[in-house]
Chain A
């Protein structure tokens, strides 16, 4: 048993040294949602480590104390049925731990499913992120821009991703900004994120979608609102408009580099926001209007920094 312990500790040490060169992506959050998730993860690792250690200590103690080679030959183990108090502790303590973690879990659910904390007063940037085999299409309806396989986002502003897929179920994931969510062909899902820091982040499809899955990644660049606006202007000056036939071609299975267009495919190939979402669709339109109005507000807000 001791051998096993030594092995185990040395192995874990080795693993941490190997991994220790850089912080793990998920535990190196750059946005409020990812931070909440990283905190939950660290909290649960802490509590769970205590449980594992307690079980291991009890096990080691029992194995050392009651191994046959240490006991007299005539020792005959007693017949024990159970003890009410021991069982109450064995049920009660796990219930308390699970209750506490459930409480944290439920609270976090509502946090990650809504506009990031501290960003409630700002209008979100809405980006439609749709996947096709094996690419990502990002449509910025308010800005009238569409990109392929790369995403520019402003920092310190809530981001609302509308996810759907032209094909198999995929999962939109930028580990350092927050957890993933599925993109499916017959409905639109919403993912709330925000970036606190400017920088380049890895984004990918996390859900297996066939042959080109491994390379189904995209680059995320977070920048200040001013830089973002500059980029929007630049795109409008330099990029070509996206056409329906061109978009059809983009959808064909394969890999593409990064591309930039003006206009969005939403105009001729709208997102699958179905009848049962009619109410929210109306809400969307209203929101879009207000977004346009608020856009300037956000800008002034930013120049005030």
Chain B
């Protein structure tokens, strides 16, 4: 009996039992549906074993959207609990679990796969490549992310969710103060998906450095590719720190080491330092690709080339360097003294300079342009003022003496949502709308899209601007309740109303997909937005091999040059194309990682060891496998091209 007790949830509630039933029903539904429609083979051949960057991108996209709703459900519960003083909707333990999972899900399992989705979908097309450098590794990255996400999401029905905050500060996250397996989930789930992220980092860097089409020098890369490159360089340097910190945290919890404990020489401040040495670069990993998307979109819909291309590139390089020099600003209040705080205060404020350059460059890209207010452009135009507010409040927080008053308050919460939502989330939705036709063959409805944009923008302002005020009024973050005497009530109610509007906004996205799928025209050509960069030069939908002939590059806007200035994009004869084979190994390995992670979380050593052996067997199999890929014949390519409306 004792064996099974550990899987029980420590703090059950009707909502959790209801979710258990819902999860069981949905799983049964999926299995039954796949069986009834005989789709198991299709699922295996086309998706589970695919190494195609476009399909992997779509899987990232779908996962990110699902996780957006998971994290959003957490958010709306939190806002509902705080809407009125002394509300009884959630108790302290549930609230703590919910804000912890909200943070982890939104950063690690929503924002990360969202940017990986666009990197996968766009980067190979923008540089004229047939796939990424290591297609199979790419599939493994996805399945590791997927395993991590699944592992994290079952926590609230098996054994209990982590409850020490998404920053998981020790000693609170140690065994002494977090007795349930929740924090084990945190350590293992993030570890597994983090390994996947690191692999993507290596993969994308290699792809961008080695696989560009002839003529594409570094300074002729489209801006999104530049942003993806810098973000992946940051990943390669930052993620190993997280990996090591998580291993130390895991051994503290499972094997009684004392890295971060309060006794035997442990040092709780060490975790905070490690966490933010990864954590601060992480926010630039998310925001730089967002900047890249905005650059593409603003330039397309202003019908102008991107203003100040090289200063855009250099500002990103500078941001990536500075991102590693500011981590202490997350804990100015740790008592390291005036000198240290002064140094980190200055490095932090310095980031405002390259970021400001980017804002002005976007403004000047629109200047003398011909601005079309499409949905992606609306998000970009909304982003500029809102992100500026988020940025300047960041400068305020960087003033370390004043930060003693902002730290740990709703002011901080308002600030980082003010950068992440208009910065990252708006960019992802803009990118989703912008690139949707390229990958799905139809446009999303503009009218519904505009409703979504306004719901999200108004909702965002209502939800987060009041927090600046309650923060300055002394409302600490992560409080599950407050008394009426504090006077936080009305503003928190306003936040709740805003959050509800945002929730409705996100639901309209789903409706838009459904509506557009049924009603939108499929006859949209390959360049529905009259765009400028290379990804629009190939067919819609994009054939497996991307480009029948390798494109010749003239500038960062090669496609525009070919449309307006007579640049010849595709030269020569169609030749045989070498493509990688599908493989089931990445999927299987991902599932073995899932088993290994679960076994470690519950200290089930026998299955853990078996799973670890399984992982090494998979790696060995790959090493001894002879797989040289396959060739698509000229005839086949010509047929495909004909089907898609003529050779390109």
Binding site for B on A (CB under 8 A): 1, 4, 7-8, 11-12, 14-15, 18-19, 21-22, 24-27, 34, 36-38, 40-41, 44-45, 48, 51-52, 55-56, 58-59, 62-63, 66-68, 71, 75-82, 86-87, 90-91, 94-95, 97-98, 101-102, 104-106, 108-114, 133, 163, 167-169, 171, 173, 175, 178-182, 184-187, 189-190, 202, 204-214
Partner of B388, one of A18, A52, A173, A175: A52
Q: Would you list 23 pairs from A and B whose C-beta atoms are within 8 A, ordered by A residue?
A: A8-B461, A15-B466, A19-B466, A19-B469, A34-B405, A44-B395, A51-B392, A62-B371, A63-B366, A78-B304, A82-B309, A86-B360, A86-B364, A91-B357, A94-B353, A102-B346, A105-B346, A111-B401, A112-B404, A189-B335, A204-B474, A208-B165, A208-B408
Bound complex: CA A25 to CA B474 (Å): 6
- Asked if B288 is at the interface of the complex by the 8 Å CB criterion, the answer is no
Q: Please give, as numbers and ranges, the residues of chain A lying within 8 Å of B338 by CB-CB distance.
A: 106, 109-110, 112-114
Question: When the two chains form their complex, are residues A171 and B333 in contact, meaning their CB atoms are under 8 A apart?
Answer: yes
* With contact pairs A15-B469, A25-B473, A214-B479 given, residues A167 and B171 touching in the complex (Cβ less than 8 Å): yes
B335 near A168 (CB under 8 angstroms)? no
In the bound assembly, the distance between CA atoms of A26 and B384 in angstroms comes to 29
Given the contacts A15-B465, A63-B381, A186-B267, A94 and B352 also touching, CB distance less than 8 Å: yes
- In the bound complex, how far is the Cα of B405 from the Cα of A110, in angstroms? 16
Beta-carbon contacts of B382-412 to A below 8 Å, as 1s and 0s? 1011001100110110111111110111000
Q: How far is the CB of B644 from chain A (nearest CB, A)?
A: 30
Q: Given A77-B303, A81-B309, A211-B93, A19 and B465 touching (CB < 8 A)?
A: no
Kindly provide the distance from the CB of A210 to the nearest chain B CB, expressed in whole angstroms: 6
Tell me which residues across on chain A come within 8 A of B303, comparing CB atoms.
68, 76-77
Interface pair B472/A24, CB less than 8 Å apart: yes
In the complex, the answer to whether B479 meets A52 with C-beta atoms within 8 Å is no
- Is B472's CB under 8 angstroms from A109's CB? no
Contact B367 A109 (CB under 8 A): no
- B542 interface hit (Cβ, 8 Å): no
B490 contacts A18, CB within 8 Å? yes
CB closest chain-A residue, reference B308: A82
**Is B363 located at the chain interface by the 8 A CB criterion?**
yes
Chain B residues within an 8 Å CB radius of A91: 353, 356-357
What residues of A have a CB within 8 angstroms of the CB of B241 in the complex?
none
In chain B, positions 304-345 with a C-beta closer than 8 Å to chain A are 304-305, 307-311, 331, 333-335, 337-338, 341-342, 345
* B373 proximity list for chain A (CB < 8 A): 67
Partner of B333, one of A52, A82, A114, A180: A180
The answer to whether B342 touches A26, judged by C-beta atoms less than 8 angstroms apart, is no
- Smallest Cβ-Cβ distance to A187: which chain B residue: B335
B63 at interface by CB-CB < 8 Å:
no
Given A77-B369, A181-B404: A55 touches B474 (CB 8 Å cut-off): no
Size category of the binding interface on chain B: 35 or more
| B262 on interface, CB distance cutoff 8 Å | yes
Please give 10 more A-B residue pairs, beta carbons under 8 A apart, in addition to A81-B309, A82-B307, A179-B401.
A19-B491, A25-B472, A36-B401, A51-B392, A112-B401, A167-B171, A167-B177, A169-B172, A206-B476, A208-B172
Q: Among B172, B335, B399, B474, which residue has its beta carbon within 8 angstroms of that of A40?
A: B399
- CA distance in complex: A114, B301 (Å): 54
B477: A residues at CB distance < 8 A = 208
Contact yes or no, A12 B465, CB < 8 A: yes
Q: Tell yes or no: B368 within 8 A of A by CB.
A: yes
Given A52-B385, A202-B474, A208-B165, also A82-B311 (CB < 8 A): yes
Could you say which residues of chain A place their CB within 8 Å of the CB of B396? 41, 44-45, 48
Q: How far is the CB of B260 from chain A (nearest CB, A)?
A: 11
**A91, B388: Cα distance in complex, Å:** 16
Interface centre among A41, A95, A109, A169 (most CB of B within 10 A): A109
Contact yes or no, B349 A98, CB < 8 A: yes
Given A48-B393, A105-B345, A213-B478, decide whether A180 and B404 contact each other with a Cβ distance below 8 A.
Answer: yes
Q: Provide the bound-state CA to CA distance between A46 and B281, in Å.
A: 29
Any A CB within 8 A of the CB of B480 = yes
Min CB distance B172 to A, Å, is: 4
Q: How far is the CB of A180 from chain B (nearest CB, A)?
A: 5
Are A90 and B357 touching (Cβ within 8 A)?
yes
Known A67-B373, A209-B172; contact A51-B401, beta-carbon cutoff 8 A: no
Q: Select B385's contact among A18, A48, A55, beta carbons within 8 Å.
A: A55
- In the complex formed, the residue of B with least CB distance to A175 is B474
Contacts of A76 in B (CB 8 A): 303, 370
In contact, B353 and A98 (Cβ under 8 angstroms): yes
Measured between alpha carbons, how far is A78 from B302 in the docked complex, in Å?
Answer: 11
Contacting A169 at CB < 8 Å: which of B96, B169, B363, B478?
A: B169
- The answer to whether A211 and B385 touch (CB under 8 A), given A37-B402, A182-B334, A186-B262, is no
Contacts of A182 in B (CB 8 A): 331, 333-335
Contact A37 B404 (CB under 8 A): yes
A15-B494, A171-B333, A184-B269 as given contacts; A109 in contact with B389, CB under 8 Å: no
A210 x B177 contact (CB < 8 A): yes
Known contacts: A7-B458, A179-B403, A207-B408. The answer to whether A168 contacts B169 by CB under 8 A is: yes
Which of B172, B337, B462 has a CB less than 8 Å from the CB of A11?
Answer: B462
Given A77-B303, A214-B92, A90 and B360 touching (CB < 8 A)? yes
A38 contacts which chain B residues (CB < 8 A)? 405
- The residue in chain A whose Cβ has the minimal distance to the Cβ of B471 is A26
Q: In the bound complex, do residue A21 and residue B171 qualify as a contact, i.e. CB atoms below 8 Å apart?
A: no
CA distance in complex: A267, B483 (Å): 36
Q: Does B508 contact A (CB under 8 A)?
A: no
B409 touches A206 (CB 8 A): yes
Q: Of the candidates B96, B171, B269, B474, which one forms a contact with A26 in the assembled complex, judged by CB atoms under 8 Å apart?
A: B474
Residue in B closest to A82 when the chains form the complex, CB atoms? B308
From B163, B335, B389, name the one whose CB has the most chain A CB atoms within 10 angstroms. B335
| In the assembled complex, B50 has its CB within 8 A of some CB on chain A | no
A198 to B165, CA, bound (A): 37
Partner of A113, one of B337, B345, B388, B476: B337
Closest Cβ–Cβ distance, residue B493 to chain A (whole Å) = 9
Are A78 and B368 interface neighbours, CB within 8 A?
yes
Q: Shortest Cβ distance from A32 into chain B, in angstroms? A: 12
Give the complex CA separation of A252 and B357 in angstroms.
54
Specify which of A82, A102, A207, A209 is in contact with B345 (CB 8 Å cutoff). Answer: A102
Nearest CB in chain B: distance from A87 CB, A: 6
Residue of B nearest to A64 (CB): B371
Question: A214 — which chain B residues lie within 8 A by C-beta?
Answer: 92, 479-482
Q: Once the chains are docked, how many angstroms separate the CA of A34 from the CA of B472?
A: 12
Q: Closest chain A residue to B336 by CB distance?
A: A189
User: How many Å lie between the Cα of A111 and that of B399 in the bound state?
Assistant: 13
Contact indicator A109/B345 (Cβ below 8 Å) = yes
Chain B's closest residue to A166 (CB) is B262
B544: CB under 8 A from chain A? no
Contact of A171 among B96, B268, B407 (CB under 8 A): B407
Interface: B487 (CB within 8 A): yes
Interface centre among A21, A40, A182, A190 (most CB of B within 10 A): A182
CB–CB B370/A210 < 8 A: no
Contact between B359 and A55, CB atoms less than 8 A apart: yes
Q: Is the CB of B388 within 8 A of A66?
A: no
Q: Contact: A184 with B353, CB < 8 Å?
A: no
* B267 contacts across to A, CB distance below 8 A: 186
Confirm or deny: B372 has a beta carbon within 8 angstroms of a beta carbon on chain A. yes
Which residues on the B side are within 8 Å of A66 (C-beta)?
302, 366-371
B457 at the interface (CB under 8 A from A): yes
Please indicate the chain A residues that have their CB under 8 angstroms from the CB of B333 in the complex: 171, 179-182
Closest to B370 in A: A68
Residue of B nearest to A212 (CB): B92
Taking a contact as CB atoms under 8 Å apart, the answer to whether A101 and B349 are in contact is yes
Contact A171 B408 (CB under 8 A): yes
Bound-state CA distance A194–B402 (Å) is: 16
When chains A and B are docked, how far (Å) is the Cα of A76 from the Cα of B338? 55
Is the beta-carbon distance between A41 and B402 smaller than 8 angstroms? yes
- The verdict on B569 contacting chain A, using a C-beta distance below 8 Å, is no
